[in-house]
Amino acid sequence: MITKQLGDYSGEMSLMGRERRLATIAEIAELLVFEVSGTAFRYILEQQPSLLEKRGENTNRRSIKCVEAVEGARIQRLGETSSDILNRIEEFLD
């Protein structure tokens, strides 16, 4: 899970890369959200090209964090499953 701060954004990976959405947003406090269409986002980037480089760096960093989180959850789930199996075997042998 990643906690967003004031001014943070989400959804640019699917918007710019036309990829499947990877994240789900859940609020823990009052939240104000603005939706930006692909056309509007493209216009913003054309007007402020420096944002594109920053967005690319942030997107890459967030993609890595997302993959790490998914892999970590998968490893943890496998560990819990193995632990459960070992417990059942130990109970059976007792």
What are the sequence ranges of the domains in the chain? Answer: 12-93
Going residue by residue through the chain, which has 94 residues, state the pLDDT in tens, using 9 for 90 and above: 667 777 777 777 677 666 677 677 777 888 888 888 888 888 887 888 777 666 666 666 666 776 677 676 666 666 666 666 666 666 766 6
**pTM recorded for the entire structure:** 0.44
Asked if 59 and 16 touch (Cβ cutoff 8 Å), the reply is yes
Asked if 11 and 24 touch (Cβ cutoff 8 Å), the reply is no
- Give the list of residues 6+ apart from residue 4 with CB closer than 8 angstroms, or none: 10, 25
Rounded CA-CA distance 31/6 in Å is: 10
Greatest extent of the chain over all pairs of C-alpha atoms, in Å: 71
